[in-house]
Amino acid sequence: MGGEKMTDGRTLEDRIRARARELGFDLVGIATLGAVESAEQFDAWIAAGYAGEMGYLERGAEKRRDTRLPFDGVRSAIVVAMNYGGTQPAGPIARYARGDDYHDVMIDRLNALRGWIECEVGHPVRAKPYVDTGPILERDLARRAGLGWIGKNTNLINPELGSFFFLGELLLDLELCADDPFETDRCGSCTRCLDACPTDAFVAPHVLDATKCISYQTIEQKGPIAEALREAIGEHLYGCDVCQEVCPWNVKFSRDATEVAFAAREVIGGKDARTLADEVLAMDDEAFRVAFKKSPIKRAKRSGLVRNAEVVRANLPRR
């Protein structure tokens, strides 16, 4: 079916791209499936201990190495990106976590895209959406779909959007014509992201020791934040955007977020680190649940956010 013209003269692939954009996705590409080029590097990264406590990353290794394995009959992948806005001022909460949970937003849209495709082709389509939720090396698949290259800071970078976006995939048992992969690395000799990292978390270009990363320490780390890293955490209460903020592609091409679900909620919007840390420390369990309902921040749980707030308060100058 891939490549065949529809009644309006456009191919199904063209119509899928158009519909995906109507659903709010800022980038969309189609990828072929098969052996994953970066799987060996990922395995070596885990073996080196750079994943820290994120043991879940080791699960589904075979599926991670070959994108034809998530379910029988899968033929193609539609890869999408949704901009969450890199133009907002820096703050104690990473930009991606200021609004609603992107998993819910994007999964709903991908399921809507699947339903639309079924109507277009006139029969049921087996499909599975992924948004950070399975053994898929998403950046590799996105590069294969033509959405960008993997930068030295390990983020996927698009030459017209930068890197402040979420990735998602819809795997289908439908044969589609793939887009050309993105072949060039446009980072050149730039090392601004590596040089700017507050905790020196980059072992080398394209290699991040997550255990030293502020995002890992403030979100994934379950115990206390490492003593040696606490001062470098600075005012980062949840996550970190530094390696993206300094990237020339983001400085030039980042856009405002247009998805209302990603707008900063009232409990976060515009507050400085001292104010927000104090408010977090004053929250009980119920206040935390209300403030961060349907928020990515729930991942750290109240205990993790309180731990972070205590570190941030210790780093702030005394009044």
Residues designated as active site: 132
Q: 251 to each of 146, 148, 213, 255, how far by Cα in Å? A: 22, 17, 22, 10
> What are the strands, taking DSSP E only, across the chain?
27-32, 76-83, 127-130, 149-150, 156-157, 165-172, 202-204, 207-208
- Three-class DSSP category at 277: helix
Neighbouring C-alpha atoms within 13 Å toward the C-beta of 138: 20
Q: How far apart are CA 21 and CA 69, in angstroms?
A: 28
> Are 214 and 270 spatial neighbours (Cβ–Cβ below 8 Å)?
no
Which amino acid is it at 242?
V
Output 41-44 pairs: Cβ under 8 A, ≥24 positions apart. 42/137
Output 267-270 pairs: Cβ under 8 A, ≥24 positions apart. 267/291, 267/292, 268/91, 268/93, 268/98, 269/98, 270/91
